[in-house]
Chains A and B, each alone.
Chain A
Amino acid sequence: MAVYEVFTQPVSYRYKTTLCSKATVVFVISSLFVIILPLVVSYRSNGFWLKSDIYQEQPDVKFTHDYLLVLETSIPQNPIQCRAQFSLNDNFQRHCLFKSYEEDTNRDGKIDFITVNVKVPLLRNESVYSVRLILALDFYISNICHLRMQSLAAVESTCGVPGAGLDVAADLRFTQKKPVDYRTAEALFSSSLLADSSSLKDLILTYSQRNYSTTLINQYNLWASGRDEDEPFPITLRIAIPESSIVYRPGFWQVVKWAWIQYLSVFIVFLHVMHILQEYIFSNQLVPTFRSVPWKKIH
């Protein structure tokens, strides 16, 4: 009749020793070894503490309806300026027709495209060589870290010949000089940029030194030439707002979780190796211990 294994049961030996013995020393040293060495290994191999992480989010961008438009004409001392905010005494600016339209194509509540149409009335003898259009945007990311700020989308384009119109298509991208803090950074740079700035130079300088800002990338400019003197100068700007990569500084629990995973994975290997080593040491009685066999009663 065939015999088969029905049930298995491991037998555990117990090795016993006194407090002051060689075996205690071996046990303490090997335990310390198992605990500390994985820490050293996982730390020295870099990336133990997760200092920055990256995620993708489509920012919630809204046009604040504040803009600044400067056209350089053939007469350098007479640039054409338009802006939404002005004081009653401003005499420098023209009367631009400014249209904007925010488009949410996938209807997820976040704006995907901002389209801007400007028509600048020009005198008959004026010809435009350069366009600088700055829009103030309300920028908000909320998924992992919260950051709300006023940012700019600046277009600058020059043309060698007198232009008759400019079409620009670009993407808005979040740029950062340092990672966004996990929890703070709410309501940073919330002041109105265009209203505060006195000169364009100041505006560009202060804005470019900010830690978090937005820029236009993937920009295509299309100038038309040959102006119709009866027509105003048209500018079309279409900004796409895709998902941005946001580098952030993770919170405490995320850091600890990643460290723990790394430590544990190394620790298990060391524990296994040390177990084999201890088994060799104690089973061969390299250090003297009392070995209690389960089926023998120690008297």
Chain B
Amino acid sequence: MIAKAVAGFLLLLVLSEAASQTVGGILSVSPSTGSTCGVGSSDCPTDPALDATEIPTEIPVSLETSTSTSTEPASGNDSTTPSVATTAQETITQSPMVTSSKPNKGSSTTRSPPRKLPTTVKQPEGQILGYALSETCACDLMAFSCDINCCCDPDCTNFQHAAFSKCKVEGYPPYDNRYCYASKLVFLNNSEHILEQSQSGAFCIVRSNLAASVLYPSHPVFLSLQDFLRHWDRTHTPVWPELQAAPISVVEKPKPYSAGSPILLIRNSQSETFDLPASRLTAACSVKNAVLYLLPWSSKCMRKAPDGQHECDSVSSYIHYQLQNIVRSPLLVNQTELPSETVELCPENVCAPVTYFICSGSKVEEDYYTNNCKNISSKNVLFGLKNGVCFGVVKRLRLLFHHNGTDGILHIEAFMWLSNISLSDYSVTKPLHQSFSVQFKWARLNKTVGTITKNNTLNSMVEHAPFPRSGNPGYLIGQPVIAAFRVKQKLSANSSKDTSKDSAKLAKHDTIDLSHDPKQWLTLPGSNMNGMCDVTLAQRHIVTFGEDLHMSCGIAVSPRNISSHFSCNALRSRLLQLLLGDIAKSFHNGSFNADWGRIIAAFGSANVSKPQEWVPLLLDSQPPFTLLSEDSMSTIESKISNEDKLSDMSIDHPLQMCENVPLGIQLQLMHGRVGSPSNPQSKIFGAAMRFTPLQDIGWPCTSAACPQKQDALYLRVVSTVKFVDISSPAVTRFAEPPAIHIRLPPDFFYPFMATEGSSGASIHKTSMALVAAFLIPLLFI
């Protein structure tokens, strides 16, 4: 029955006089195939190339039913290789005109795929075709077991074949599309057939004389390690990085501190390095970074908020403990007897004394702003967990090491921003942010530790604070723009104590009053987190070189503030104070002209002894309003309060608008590069400050009772900074080319020249004509 179906299914017509007498053929598949598996039917796995031809019924292949009649499957396997050109092949394929396949002649051997005797199969043709018709069966993935639908699996018996629904024949036999003919095993009704497919390109390989030319070269197996390593080195491929051996701390002779050596501390009578938490890949405090001597360092990281004894200690009391035990110099560690473990405190002669400053206020970014700090004894500060509250959590720590080179650390100043965290209300999700910074400062040789530790006031600290330059000599990008006051000599007595000593020595008429606090330089009003303008000096933003800036903040103006001329004036003064900061005081003596004494350092080195290196901060326009002096300000304040009471009475003529209110400031700076192009220095050539167009503020209101109904007016104060680079490209100058003076000897044309004694003119003319007669023909040669 199956035989009939297949017989009807396949009709093999042979193209008689086609180019090859062996392979030409048309496979015609009758549409009534039913469920049998056959070439071109969807039930069978067909070659995708066949599908691509989109001729399901006629496929230009020669189909050999290996079928069949040959009881020995090896011969059928031989016929898979078409090998058109070989005569040996022809003998096999001389009868391709199988009119009809009768695969199911009953005998079970007809269905036997070539797997049975793979070793006995000889494949000379396969090698001719360029590949060894291998015995590998790609779908035979389970060893010693019959893989389902894997017809080439040698583990399958005929009985198991009967359970197959189709044959996975991909990759068997191996297929190389450069060859003209490729064979493909097709199982019709579980009996194998060979599908031969011609290659469609213009050129194809019929027979390869050198079969190995398309095979991978075999590589010898490495048997010796030398061999292996030699080839390994030759590969030059990136390999996994090897684990770097951790530096083993070698017990060596203690050396004095030098730049880059780790700072030691004593813990449990053992010396170890002083380290602080730092972040590595993420913001979390993941590593401990050793603090290195004389190298400034800062870190900022985030850790879990303390929720227990151990965590609380590690963020509060442990840091305090570390600070207490920092060794002055490694040389001292061995010389002195270390205290036993029971003794908590490190002896004074080994460990550096620490002065603690507790700082309040918000965490200001700038390190030099420590005005809110006050000295305190560490005994007065509570560290650690107590009653469910973690006291003394270090949110920010700034360490200032006063050192003396190789003599070691003299004393330490620790500025701490502390907070107390209750374990209950601080949820786990809220992280604790910590920031640390370490700075070093040369101690003055004549000052002893004792005098400094006694010196508790911070003002003295500020006086000796290192004055940060903004570049030397040219400005560096991102460093503060240095501004100062030009003080007339008569006023120098009134100048503040921050005046540097150099300026006092100045023999000029004017002195330059330079504050060492960058907050006293060019600052602009910043906003706090709520968006309102912050009047405190700490929140003002320092203008930095090269960076354009746009910032704004809000102020609320109540109707009372614009109710009268006095209050309007007060509002203007208040805004001016906000915009300019402390500089606004210089306006208050009434003079509002361009020569207001504000100057800007042209170079970042800010040399006060060179007045020519300072440029004036020009005022673009004088605001069209009069300002009140400081003493009149106080009267205004009182007047405003009076007016509040009087406002009910003066309601007949309320002002609903203040004119000419400065709501912004623009700072314009022109800078450029000077010096050689290889090392250019930035210099400020000019600076101007102008108020943004003055606004009239008020409410659109017509009725007299309007201001009372209104809420506070919300104004925006905008400050902008714009830097313009006006440096033209560097000019390359060349030296003048050397002038070439070629002179003939004076007697070179002797016979033609008129000599002094002779009668010259006629001879001269003839000589010139003769020269011309000689030279002109030369030109034409």
Expressed in whole angstroms, the minimum distance between the Cβ of A121 and any Cβ of chain B is 5
Taking CB as reference atom, which chain A residue is nearest B395?
A230
Expressed in whole angstroms, the minimum distance between the Cβ of A106 and any Cβ of chain B is 11
Known contacts A226-B302, A228-B433, A88 near B551 by CB under 8 Å: no
Contact with B531, one of A63, A94, A100, A124 (Cβ below 8 angstroms):
A94
Is B548 an interface position by the 8 A CB rule? yes
Expressed in whole angstroms, the minimum distance between the Cβ of B683 and any Cβ of chain A is 15
Taking CB as reference atom, which chain A residue is nearest B431?
A226
Q: Is the CB of B283 within 8 A of A122?
A: no
Residues on A with C-beta less than 8 A from B531 are 94-95, 121
Expressed in whole angstroms, the minimum distance between the Cβ of A114 and any Cβ of chain B is 10
Residues on B with C-beta less than 8 A from A101 are 477-478, 546-548
Segment 52-92 of A: residues with Cβ below 8 Å from B: 63, 65, 67, 84, 86, 88, 90-91
Expressed in whole angstroms, the minimum distance between the Cβ of A95 and any Cβ of chain B is 4
Contact with B529, one of A84, A90, A122 (Cβ below 8 angstroms):
A122
Expressed in whole angstroms, the minimum distance between the Cβ of B633 and any Cβ of chain A is 27
Contact with A99, one of B363, B526, B547, B695 (Cβ below 8 angstroms):
B547
Q: Is the CB of A230 within 8 A of B362?
A: yes
Is B61 an interface position by the 8 A CB rule? no
Residues on A with C-beta less than 8 A from B553 are 95
Residues on B with C-beta less than 8 A from A88 are 695, 715-716
Q: Is the CB of B548 within 8 A of A100?
A: yes
Is B511 an interface position by the 8 A CB rule? no
Segment 97-155 of A: residues with Cβ below 8 Å from B: 97-104, 107, 109, 117, 121-124
Is B134 an interface position by the 8 A CB rule? no
Is A30 an interface position by the 8 A CB rule? no
Is A96 an interface position by the 8 A CB rule? yes
Expressed in whole angstroms, the minimum distance between the Cβ of A243 and any Cβ of chain B is 20
Is A164 an interface position by the 8 A CB rule? yes
Known contacts A95-B552, A122-B529, A226-B302, A100 near B729 by CB under 8 Å: no
Is A281 an interface position by the 8 A CB rule? no
Is A293 an interface position by the 8 A CB rule? no
Is A225 an interface position by the 8 A CB rule? yes
Is B714 an interface position by the 8 A CB rule? yes
> Taking chain A's interface residues, is the majority helix, strand, or loop, or is none over half, making it mixed?
loop
Query: In the assembly, what is the distance between CA of A42 and CA of B168, in Å?
Result: 53
Residues on A with C-beta less than 8 A from B284 are 226
Is B677 an interface position by the 8 A CB rule? yes
Is B554 an interface position by the 8 A CB rule? yes
Query: In the assembly, what is the distance between CA of A124 and CA of B549, in Å?
Result: 25
Query: In the assembly, what is the distance between CA of A96 and CA of B695, in Å?
Result: 22
Query: In the assembly, what is the distance between CA of A109 and CA of B541, in Å?
Result: 30
Segment 221-238 of A: residues with Cβ below 8 Å from B: 224-226, 228-232
Mask: chain B, 555-580; 1 = CB below 8 Å from A; 0 = not? 00000000000000000000000000
Q: Is the CB of A107 within 8 A of B547?
A: no
Residues on A with C-beta less than 8 A from B477 are 101, 103
Q: How large is the interface on A (under 10, 10 to 19, 20 to 34, 35 or more residues)?
A: 35 or more
Segment 517-536 of B: residues with Cβ below 8 Å from A: 526-531
Residues on A with C-beta less than 8 A from B550 are 65, 67, 84, 96-99
Q: How large is the interface on B (under 10, 10 to 19, 20 to 34, 35 or more residues)?
A: 35 or more
Q: Is the CB of B551 within 8 A of A97?
A: yes
Mask: chain B, 409-444; 1 = CB below 8 Å from A; 0 = not? 000000000000000000000110100000000000
Query: In the assembly, what is the distance between CA of A204 and CA of B598, in Å?
Result: 46
Q: Is the CB of A224 within 8 A of B283?
A: yes
Query: In the assembly, what is the distance between CA of A80 and CA of B565, in Å?
Result: 37
Query: Which of the listed residues A91, A95, A121, A231 has the most CB atoms from chain B within 10 Å of its own CB?
Result: A95
Known contacts A121-B527, A225-B283, A99 near B548 by CB under 8 Å: yes
Contact with B527, one of A95, A225, A231 (Cβ below 8 angstroms):
A95
Known contacts A88-B716, A232-B529, A65 near B548 by CB under 8 Å: yes
Residues on A with C-beta less than 8 A from B549 are 97-100
Residues on B with C-beta less than 8 A from A65 are 548, 550, 722
Segment 162-207 of B: residues with Cβ below 8 Å from A: none
Query: Which of the listed residues B363, B528, B551, B722 has the most CB atoms from chain A within 10 Å of its own CB?
Result: B551
Query: Which of the listed residues B528, B529, B554, B716 has the most CB atoms from chain A within 10 Å of its own CB?
Result: B529
Taking CB as reference atom, which chain A residue is nearest B302?
A226
Q: Is the CB of B530 within 8 A of A109?
A: no
Residues on A with C-beta less than 8 A from B478 are 101
Query: Which of the listed residues A84, A94, A123, A232 has the most CB atoms from chain B within 10 Å of its own CB?
Result: A94
Contact with A228, one of B302, B546, B547, B552 (Cβ below 8 angstroms):
B302
Query: In the assembly, what is the distance between CA of A156 and CA of B282, in Å?
Result: 21
Taking CB as reference atom, which chain A residue is nearest B525?
A95
Residues on B with C-beta less than 8 A from A90 are 716
Segment 469-527 of B: residues with Cβ below 8 Å from A: 477-478, 526-527
Segment 580-624 of B: residues with Cβ below 8 Å from A: none
Expressed in whole angstroms, the minimum distance between the Cβ of B532 and any Cβ of chain A is 8
Q: Is the CB of B283 within 8 A of A91?
A: no
Query: Which of the listed residues B284, B362, B530, B552 has the most CB atoms from chain A within 10 Å of its own CB?
Result: B552
Additional A-B contact list (4), CB under 8 Å, known A101-B478, A107-B729: A95-B531, A225-B282, A230-B433, A230-B529
B residues with a Cβ closer than 8 A to A are: 282-284, 302, 362-363, 430-431, 433, 477-478, 526-531, 541, 544, 546-554, 677, 680, 695, 714-716, 722, 725, 729-730
A residues with a Cβ closer than 8 A to B are: 63, 65, 67, 84, 86, 88, 90-91, 94-104, 107, 109, 117, 121-124, 164, 224-226, 228-232
Contact sample, A vs B, 18 pairs, CB 8 Å cutoff: A65-B722, A67-B550, A90-B716, A91-B714, A95-B531, A95-B551, A96-B550, A98-B550, A99-B549, A100-B547, A101-B478, A101-B546, A101-B547, A107-B729, A121-B528, A121-B531, A228-B433, A230-B363
